[in-house]
Amino acid sequence: MTRIWDPQTRFRIWFEIEAHATDALAELGVVPKEAAARIWEADKAAGDFDIDRIDSIEAETKHDVIAFLTHVAERTGPEARFLHQGMTSSDVLDTCLAVQLARASDILIEDLDALLAVIKRRAYEHKLTPTIGRSHGIHAEPVTFGLKLAQAYAEFNRNRARLVAARADIATCAISGAVGTFANIDPSVEAHVAEKMGLTVEPVSTQVIPRDRHAMFFATLGVIASSIERLATEVRHLQRTEVLEAEEYFSPGQKGSSAMPHKRNPVLTENLTGLARMVRGYVTPALENVALWHERDISHSSVERYIGPDATITLDFALARLTSVIDKLVVYPARMEKNLNKMGGLVHSQRVLLALTQAGVSREDSYRLVQRNAMKVWESDGELSLMELLKADADVTAALSPQEIEARFDLDYHYKNVDTIFARVFGEE
Amino acid sequence: MTRIWDPQTRFRIWFEIEAHATDALAELGVVPKEAAARIWEADKAAGDFDIDRIDSIEAETKHDVIAFLTHVAERTGPEARFLHQGMTSSDVLDTCLAVQLARASDILIEDLDALLAVIKRRAYEHKLTPTIGRSHGIHAEPVTFGLKLAQAYAEFNRNRARLVAARADIATCAISGAVGTFANIDPSVEAHVAEKMGLTVEPVSTQVIPRDRHAMFFATLGVIASSIERLATEVRHLQRTEVLEAEEYFSPGQKGSSAMPHKRNPVLTENLTGLARMVRGYVTPALENVALWHERDISHSSVERYIGPDATITLDFALARLTSVIDKLVVYPARMEKNLNKMGGLVHSQRVLLALTQAGVSREDSYRLVQRNAMKVWESDGELSLMELLKADADVTAALSPQEIEARFDLDYHYKNVDTIFARVFGEE
Amino acid sequence: MTRIWDPQTRFRIWFEIEAHATDALAELGVVPKEAAARIWEADKAAGDFDIDRIDSIEAETKHDVIAFLTHVAERTGPEARFLHQGMTSSDVLDTCLAVQLARASDILIEDLDALLAVIKRRAYEHKLTPTIGRSHGIHAEPVTFGLKLAQAYAEFNRNRARLVAARADIATCAISGAVGTFANIDPSVEAHVAEKMGLTVEPVSTQVIPRDRHAMFFATLGVIASSIERLATEVRHLQRTEVLEAEEYFSPGQKGSSAMPHKRNPVLTENLTGLARMVRGYVTPALENVALWHERDISHSSVERYIGPDATITLDFALARLTSVIDKLVVYPARMEKNLNKMGGLVHSQRVLLALTQAGVSREDSYRLVQRNAMKVWESDGELSLMELLKADADVTAALSPQEIEARFDLDYHYKNVDTIFARVFGEE
Amino acid sequence: MTRIWDPQTRFRIWFEIEAHATDALAELGVVPKEAAARIWEADKAAGDFDIDRIDSIEAETKHDVIAFLTHVAERTGPEARFLHQGMTSSDVLDTCLAVQLARASDILIEDLDALLAVIKRRAYEHKLTPTIGRSHGIHAEPVTFGLKLAQAYAEFNRNRARLVAARADIATCAISGAVGTFANIDPSVEAHVAEKMGLTVEPVSTQVIPRDRHAMFFATLGVIASSIERLATEVRHLQRTEVLEAEEYFSPGQKGSSAMPHKRNPVLTENLTGLARMVRGYVTPALENVALWHERDISHSSVERYIGPDATITLDFALARLTSVIDKLVVYPARMEKNLNKMGGLVHSQRVLLALTQAGVSREDSYRLVQRNAMKVWESDGELSLMELLKADADVTAALSPQEIEARFDLDYHYKNVDTIFARVFGEE
């Protein structure tokens, strides 16, 4: 990913755009065909661009594309004057950025695919591993660890679709001249370059490719980062000392704390939480870039010089790290079961509530009956058993027999639709 | 749009979700069919919900859905106990929010259609109205005012497609119970409610519909707001005293300043600029809402209570205002022409540059020859004429005849591809 | 707080600014003294402003201050023409906003004082209540619950100082005319109004008071909101089922879940987490408001119409809610002790490490010796005892006697500097 | 500025913190005095740290501070075991960050001083250079170019005061051990290190220095960046082709456009506009860093690794660039005068309005009389003269004589309080 953003790659893309455009101009008879051919040959002979030389020309001209063209002229000879005919710098810069962001998208899509594969594998591995579901951090009702991962799979699958759409949004080519009117360059040149560079044609440009495209792209990265934060936060919670249902892999030789030798900390997922903040932080500057003045100003440029590499490299790194965390996540089913049982059966309270209403007790009375027993269990810190208390409550037993009460404390009951959900998320298989 | 967010509408949607779910449960034989029917009838008889009553119940229970159900029970009688069987509050709340955001999207899509229609009309009206294109706020080369609007059309058309996608993202229905396992409610209930409410089924929920969907939705609104800012900024620039190529409609009786009776200010588009900042400001809280704890916490709720109405109402208002601004925009073609000509022909400098390179002068020398004459014109504040200076420059006339120079100062040359661009943007017609 | 932002209050402040300015003009002999006096008397006689009337005038003039002045003229008679002499609308609007934000600050400072008082009381109450300190959510070493609150006290005390500074930043008065030159109004008028309204004089204004002041103000509110989130997050963690060291007060009659009668959720602090996101979300629009065009544009106005009330009302509500949460927080010292002991003495690992180095073992070896025993305890889920394992490790006992090892497992050792810290935070008392 | 953030500097600061702490421990008798002395000597002998070696140790231990200490031990010998006694990594990391941010603040304060000096010089140079004041981009009333700069001076002077306060906020030292209780290290060590490193003592830390401090710091940088954007935007407006009252210095050899040789673009100030967006973008991640879990998590760390260097280096660069832009700004007083006069005297409309009210005409009638003449001038594009039209308006001349009208069109009248404003801003001199 970093290679996409290094100067050599950028100049290579610039050159290709310019040379392809010259080919198309040669086809139109605007420049000599031999000149177009000579440009490719001279480049092949010369190899890598001399970045120091380009920098030193730019120090004088204060214009990056002119500096580059001057350097190419030095390597190419007089035919170089047929480069950049009727084009403006933004034709090169914006089309190059489109190529870079499209390539970055391809890597990020691969990252997502790798993450999805790992989540899927672990989801099936723990499809029926019982664990407590929690709302507000409080025990609610049983789920399975596989269901947690199925949710993450569905979320990152949505993100994959969003990224594919965002990629399409930014993968356009503009070779339309100084203010986008094709005054000095035929639209067929744009079509040729677009095809060669793997882009679509920008329907209307104004010297620049409109920045709503890039805003949408970086906003999409911000959403993906937020999903990373969600899964990372889940792991951080699971690794808490009191919960400890899962743990980041802790390699031999690793040290958790310089002061406390007993520590094993979820540092990778905490790191991911911070990285998510950064990628999100790049969304607003990208949105502010949209309202350029008239046909363009250059305020977007410095922003993109930061967030182009920073957002894509950070997200690439974060997706790879998250994939590794999930891949190697140490899961403790025994501890999950222990936690699940620690509240004296409170997690079954809803089923008793429903059984009472089915037995003719009003919803309000049912709620009251269950709650008054549940609160005792709650306050006993799980020492008391909800089932036993209910069986000893005359108002409850007036409606439900002991057997009917006991039947509501069955774990498998909760998992009868896991197959259905997995089929929805992963497809029939 | 405000109606979508008032309490009566919200409770109406809640009721429909609950009553449709009860229908499906009746179909499954879980509740009596007569009870399901009775619930609809009692509601029809009772009419509007008593919001004060609901509020007073909530003051005691501190739970909004329970307060609502208690109120419905009071209007319905004992059959009300068959409502909400196996459901959790979020089933109602999240599905309701999906309905509200989907309806809000429909209005916003209509807003965009109205805006697109107005932009298109004005674009064709001014398809060939010459005006100067500006980069960096500096005169560049000629465009037409219609091209500026064509660009805006293409941008808002992209935004329309994005909004349609964002609408699909949030229009899902979850009726999956306390932690999303369908433990106490059959998935067919969800399918039934989804169909009745015009939604798709949420593949996997965790008590709540995952918030990456909402994040994507509000991020999309932020992009649209940024596009509004862009067009608003264009109008503000055009109305500047020194430019004055277009002006917001200034109604009879309107006063521009309490102190200066001569003022006519672009206050509507400045207002739009501020509104764009607000809608953008809602993106980050929406992104922060994604990482809920475990199966859910309720931190997203207060955020959505603000940004649900505020973002959609503000954007609805802003789109309507922008439509009106463009619809009534007073355009001054004469002033555009005057501005276009004010730089002594500098806007044609590129064509001369290209002609020189075509005539065999190196790109670097050509640039230098044109620039040295252009700078004189620039410093004369448009008093000198670039064409005349070039004709008097021996180094130039060594390569180009006076007639060849004059031929480069032709305006129509710039507009030969306007039809092509319009066809790309608006389709063949 | 909402009263500060209602129209009647706003018009009252506008009137006072105008009438005080007229007094100063009368003192200068620019307007008749009797007219200035008459303006106050007519207002006293007329009472509240007729907001509907003002709105209907504004619908025609599309200018709020002109509408207001016309209404005042209707209630006052011909002397009203001496109002607003040499002033511009922003003189009234911006000075009014300064008064509103200053008053809002006063309420927020009171809120902070109330919060600080409650935190201090609870901090002293639990000054020596042992609890485990956690880094990364993992048990680290013992702290006291009072120390946690002392930290919060210090943080909100810093926020109080920041808010006092932010209040000074926005409490300025500008009565400087159309472009801030005092062309038509003497600077002494500004000085008079400033004094009467409790403000300082704005050294240089440009029709408007510069918006860097407001940006700093709203940024400060964003920092305070983030501190609220921090303390709210602490409570949410402490209330988790597995931790349950403290709990939000749960009133009789309150229901935690519509489906699960056993739930008691930290909904207030989750709500605060969401509110913090909103107040933070207002920071960026406020920052974007700084770069107004030339002497001013009006893009800041719509933003301030949202965030002026929304940020201050939300923060006021949030501070009051947090104060109540801390005030009534149910603290469970027994559970804290239980948690503290659950890791088999691992929390004392550092002290053993230090004792080994003091006894001549190298830091690296000491770390390895402690870690190898600590990991066994970790993996036993607290069933094994670190102290016993160390006493059975020959490499350890080669350096430390059993008594020396036992001495490292003393809780009071950790609290010897609590008094010092309290004195730093709360002052000597 | 970049030097502050390079690894060698960071390790140097780490070493100083550790070594000063060891000195204090030696003073307390906890470690041998000779060991403390030896640590300094060994370091002096060894010179620069071997960053590759530290990296390779970290690759194994996955802990940066432990890697550093191991490297120091290798250079120092057995006495190194007396380093880091009773300390935790954050003691080193957070105190180091405080030192780095304090040093960065010092550079930024110097930057602001340099900018203020340049603004002041140019403000006095153009203290009485007449130029039009604009609200909403529309000509309002006359100001001077010096007044514009005086406003900027006052704004950056406020920013200087804010930065000094923000520096004090982050310049604290924490040497308080694993969870901030000073369990294994005496508070006097912290006091000693604080004094040696130029910091104040953190009253209460929780392993980490609380992040509200850093949030306030980065929020302050965001405000400063917004002020940079404001002044940059002013220059961009002034350089517009139609305005051209000032221009960024355009060096010989510089090229404005690869396609259009006539272009001279305000690229530096556009660049500053983009940089401001970036620095603002770092504010929200910094605010999100405040709510760390319990005594700390490490999610803040990755954020700070980006924004620590990026925000300070970007702002340093931006302030220097802005200073240079203002220093060399080419100002065109003749063009300012021409623009000022282009609206046919409309800029004097308020003075006529006031004169009419003084002459007994009601405010509403006066406004109407002036506005009806002003609109004719407005529509004539400055061809008509307001003064002549007023002298020909019988309703006006019924109240004012021709001489009285003419007297209202005097420029100097507007500048009588410039001295007063300059004295307020720059102090008496």
The H or E element spanning position B373 is helix B363-379
Looking at the predicted structure, is the pLDDT value of residue A202 above 80?
yes
Segment A18-60, tens digit of pLDDT: 999 999 999 999 899 999 999 999 999 999 999 999 999 998 8
Does domain C2-76 fall under CATH 1.10.275.10? My reply is yes
DSSP calls for D10-78: HHHHHHHHHHHHHHHHHHTTSS-HHHHHHHHHHHHHH-S--HHHHHHHHHHH--HHHHHHHHHHHHH-G
Whether residue B259 and residue C284 make contact (CB cut-off 8 A), yes or no, is: no
Q: Which of A351-365, B264-278, C220-234, D305-319 has the lowest mean pLDDT?
A: A351-365
* Partner-chain residue, chosen from A177, A267, A280, that has the shortest CB–CB distance to D298: A267
**Cβ atoms within 10 Å of B416's Cβ, excluding its own:** 12
Indicate the residue type of B259: A
CA separation for the pair B399, B393 (Å, rounded): 10
Which of the residues A184, A287, A300, A352 would you substitute to probe the B interface, choosing the one with the greatest number of B C-beta atoms within 10 Å? A287
Helix count (H) and strand count (E) of chain B? 18, 6
State yes or no: pLDDT of A67 exceeds 80.
yes
In sequence order, the 6+-apart residues with CB closer than 8 A to the CB of D28 are: D186, D188, D189
Q: Which two three-digit tokens encode residue B110?
A: 């209509």
Q: In this complex, do C140 and A257 lie within 8 Å of one another by their Cβ atoms?
A: yes
Q: Do domains B2-85 and B90-339 have the same CATH topology?
A: no
- Is residue D394 classed exposed, middle or buried when 0-12, 13-18 and 19+ CB atoms within 10 A define those classes? exposed
Q: Roughly what angle, to the nearest 10 degrees, separates helices D363-379 and C64-76?
A: 150
- Tens of pLDDT, residue by residue over C331-345, are 999 999 999 988 788
**Do D129 and D194 touch, CB atoms closer than 8 A?**
no
Residues in chain D within 8 Å Cβ distance of A306 = 278, 310
Q: Specify the amino acid at residue B354.
A: L
Whether residue A3 is predicted with pLDDT greater than 90 in this model: the reply is: yes
Residues of chain A contacting residue D66, judged by C-beta atoms under 8 Å apart: 255, 258
Q: Are D191 and D307 in contact (CB under 8 A)?
A: no
C357 CB-contact burial (10 Å; exposed 0-12 / middle 13-18 / buried 19+): buried
- Chain B residue numbers touching D386 (CB-CB < 8 A): 262
Q: Per residue of chain B (429 residues), what is the pLDDT tens digit?
A: 899 999 999 999 999 999 999 999 999 998 999 999 999 999 999 999 999 999 999 988 888 898 999 999 999 998 898 999 889 899 999 999 999 999 999 999 999 999 999 999 999 999 999 999 999 999 998 999 999 999 999 999 999 999 999 999 999 999 999 899 999 899 999 999 999 999 999 999 999 999 999 999 999 999 999 999 999 999 999 999 999 999 999 877 676 666 666 678 999 999 999 999 999 999 999 999 999 999 999 999 999 999 999 999 999 999 999 999 999 999 999 999 999 988 788 888 888 988 998 888 988 899 889 989 988 887 787 788 999 999 999 999 999 999 999 999 988 999 999 999 999 999 965
Domain D343-411: give its CATH superfamily. Fumarase/aspartase (C-terminal domain) (1.10.40.30)
Q: Which CATH number fits domain A346-408: 3.40.930.10, 3.40.50.1820, 1.10.3720.10, 1.10.40.30?
A: 1.10.40.30
CB contact (8 A) between residue D181 and residue C142: yes
pLDDT digits (tens, 9 = 90+) for C181-240: 999 899 999 999 999 999 999 999 999 999 999 999 999 999 999 999 999 999 999 999
Q: What is the pTM of this model?
A: 0.94
**Whether D61 and A253 lie within 8 Å, measured CB to CB:** yes
DSSP state of A34: H
Domain D2-85 has CATH 1.10.10.60: no
Round to whole Å and give the CA distance between D135 and C208.
Answer: 10
Q: How far is D70 from chain A (nearest CA, A)?
A: 11
Interface test with C, best of D190, D212, D408 (most C CBs within 10 A): D212
Q: Which residue of D has its CA nearest to B264?
A: D138
pLDDT at D346: 84
* CATH code for the structural domain at C343-416: 1.10.40.30
Which residues have C-beta within 8 Å of that of residue A140, sequence separation ≥ 6?
A: A132, A133, A134, A347, B178, B179, B207, B295, C257, C260, C263
Annotated active-site positions of B, please? 136, 257
> What residues of D act catalytically?
136, 257
- Cβ of C138 within 8 Å of Cβ of A371? The answer is no
Cβ separation C259–B297 shorter than 8 A = no
Architecture of domain B343-412: Orthogonal Bundle (1.10)
Instruction: Choose among A137, A265, A367: nearest Cβ to C261.
Output: A367
Write down the pLDDT at residue B257.
Answer: 64
- Considering the domain A101-170+209-334 in this protein, what is its CATH number? 1.20.200.10
The structural domains of chain C, with segments of one domain joined by +, span: 2-76, 90-339, 343-416
Residue with tokens 């609380």: D210
Q: What CATH architecture applies to the domain D90-339?
A: Up-down Bundle (1.20)
Give Cα A302 to chain centroid, integer Å.
Answer: 24
